[in-house]
Structure 1
Amino acid sequence: MPNIEHVTFKHRDMFWEIAADIYFPPNFDDSRHYPTIVVAHPIGSAKEQTSGEIYSARLAEQGFVTVAFDASFQGESGGEPRSIEDPTRRVEDFRHVADYLVTLPYVDADRIGLIGMCGGGGYAINTVMTERRYKAVATITGANYGRVLRETEGSSAAVIEKLEEIAAQRTAEARGADRQVDMGLPESLEQAAEWGITDVDLLGATEYYKTPRGAKPNGVNVTLRSHMSPAYGWDAFHLAEGLLTQPLLVIVGDIPGAFGAYRDGHEIVRRARSEKKELVVIEGWSHYDLYDKDEPVAQAMAKLTPFFTENL
């Protein structure tokens, strides 16, 4: 088991703290400077799930210091109201994590990398375009959250209707109404079957988050409706042709589902300005298989370790 330190640090522009787990490599020596990798959790997830217990832990075993943190308004991090999923705030979190890391004596400030998973992958891509302290970026089944939301509604007219509903809810809350929290998933695989869900991603998410396989107290998969408007107008890949220049590794499974990571992976590798970029398609596995199943995770690690060794 890796050596882990639980830390909190101030979100410098606000009034709350970010909670994170730092994973240390074997024979860690705090007098040395280590390449460091930040691993961002998926939407609806928490640092104790795949970003921490799987990828941060395994990368630490390969000699990196790794950091899994909870997004603001989620998990053990601060911020009110709870359960906000706002891409602009999620991207800002990465800057504050970097602010903290550059103060640690054992972190090599010139060798900090970033991994994002699922929606966290889209956030990671968007972050590195303007946050140059991250020297290399990888995504694992990364998805463009704004695109996912818009496509889920089905048409531009439906998106406008949804935004009108969000606006009405925000007005109601401003006048004293209760907040409306949207549940992201069925409560069980049995309920998913009752609802007629057959999509591989939605079933995979339900199996991961709603069974002992991946369930954790803070991986709640809920969002506060009144604060969802920014996400519908957001594009993770905007300006990638000009601003995304860091070495880029994109890992996806080849079984596509509703969240569109397979398609998004191909798109961002095509669009990125990065001179060093690679798309890795892991055959026979789907979005949620890459979260924790031994074979696809091992294949992902076989690419992640040399990528960050070479580029940090």
Structure 2
Amino acid sequence: MRILTSIIAVTFTSIATESVNAQHYHKAEQNPYSLVYEGAISENVIGKVNIHPVTYTLNGIDIVANVYTPANYTASKQYPAVVVAHPNGGVKEQTAGLYAQRLAEAGFITLVADASYQGGSGGKPRHTDKPQFRTEDIHGMADFMTTYPGVDQNRLGILGICAGGGYTLKAVQSDKRFKAVATLSMFNSGEVRRNGFQNSQLNSIQERLQQATAARTQERVEGKISYVGVASITDEEIAKTSTDLYREGYEYYYRTHAHPNSTFLYTMSSLMDLMTWDATDGIELINQPLLMIAGSKADTKYMTDEAFSKVSNAENKELFLIDGATHIQTYWKAEYVEQAVNKLVKFYQSKFKS
């Protein structure tokens, strides 16, 4: 596995996919909206769910996003709405788009946007991954949706997937425009960047903070950007990866649901912010209804359990486990997606009753 620790520039190239079963491989170039999930919209048809690529500006950065409108959408009517925050390294065309489309099929106007500095959105250095930017992205999605034709501001919800779930838990502490909050396979980026996955790097915290500090100095003094993460990976390396999260994650992002805007890289200097941040800090400020969904076999489930136990002031809270599912399987596997979507629809509908 090639781990990048100091790079001035990165050239992204396609990764071989010959060994992947074709029926599970979705190519971005085969869809006019570059969507890579199964059952993705390929054209807008009158009377059905439609997709609308949009761009808006947030703090001087151009954000690219997709709005999904329900069947027979009419701007003069009022609809419940949900914004979807994508995983680390993910983009709007992958699992976040899948859930946005499925929720639109259930009657919601939905929005999924690429994070600032990531995907198709603007911002430099590229692949900056700082928590304050990701939470601000969520506030920006609320800004956009509260002015979108047909959105009922009193029925706005949010779904955060993986790291998007962790950032969601932080954003909704202060943003009360979100009336109902849900997470799927929540990933606490601060905890993992600080302690390592499953607390595997507790002995190197100070060393990694020193590396992040040096990387920031390098950015300022030399204009060079250091990256950390996986630039590419072979099938053999994937097979040898011991944790479900990363093995299945590499398969998802680099093989079966690869997208040219998606990457496992992030700037090393981002660790200065990530390692001092935690999704559960201030979690007692959440007073909205909260639903947290995780796979029963997910090796990330401990993060959902930790966060859920700390929620003390939510109007009500519920933990829903998808039996047999791993973290990444909740992104794409039809039977697990179906269970999650059905639960989400019932949750939002019950909380949006006037």
Q: 1:216 aligns with which of 253, 259, 262?
A: 259
Aligned to 2:330: 290
Matched residue SS, 2:251: helix
Distance 1:55 1:220 in 2: 20
Unaligned runs of 5+ in 1: none
Q: 1:268 aligns with which of 303, 307, 329?
A: 307
Q: 1:148 aligns with which of 182, 188, 192?
A: 192
* Pairing 1:277–2:317 present: yes
Distance 2:303 2:215 in 1: 31
Shift in Å at residue 61 of structure 1? 0.3
Q: Is the 8 A contact 2:146 2:152 kept in 1?
A: yes
Distance 1:176 1:185 in 2: 23
Distance 1:29 1:311 in 2: 23
Q: Is the 8 A contact 1:200 1:286 kept in 2?
A: yes
Distance 1:76 1:191 in 2: 28
Matched residue SS, 2:129: coil
- Count of residue correspondences: 302
* Pairing 1:61–2:105 present: yes
1:221-254 deviation digits (Å, cap 9, x = unpaired): 210112321000101011212x111111111011
Shift in Å at residue 308 of structure 1? 0.7
Moved more, 150-159 or 286-295: 150-159
Amino acid at match of 2:346: P
1:245-265 deviation digits (Å, cap 9, x = unpaired): 1111111011132xx2x1122
Q: How does the TM-score come out when normalised to structure 1? A: 0.93
Q: Is the 8 A contact 2:87 2:164 kept in 1?
A: yes
Amino acid at match of 1:281: L
Shift in Å at residue 162 of structure 1? 0.5
Aligned to 2:50: 3
Unaligned runs of 5+ in 2: 1-40, 42-48
Aligned to 2:342: 302
1:191-221 deviation digits (Å, cap 9, x = unpaired): 234xx4211111110110011x211111112
Percent sequence identity is 37
Amino acid at match of 2:249: A
1:120-165 deviation digits (Å, cap 9, x = unpaired): 1000011101111111110010111111112217455511110111
Q: Is the 8 A contact 1:120 1:142 kept in 2?
A: yes
1:1-312 superposed matches below 5 A: 1=41, 2-11=49-58, 14-52=59-97, 54-152=98-196, 154=200, 156-184=202-230, 187-193=233-239, 196-211=240-255, 213-241=256-284, 243-257=285-299, 260=300, 262-272=301-311, 273-312=313-352
Shift in Å at residue 15 of structure 1? 1.4
Matched residue SS, 2:118: coil
Distance 1:126 1:173 in 2: 28
Shift in Å at residue 55 of structure 1? 0.3
Distance 1:138 1:185 in 2: 31
Q: How does the TM-score come out when normalised to structure 2? A: 0.82
Q: How well do the aligned residues superpose, as a CA RMSD in angstroms?
A: 1.5
Q: Is the 8 A contact 1:188 1:207 kept in 2?
A: no
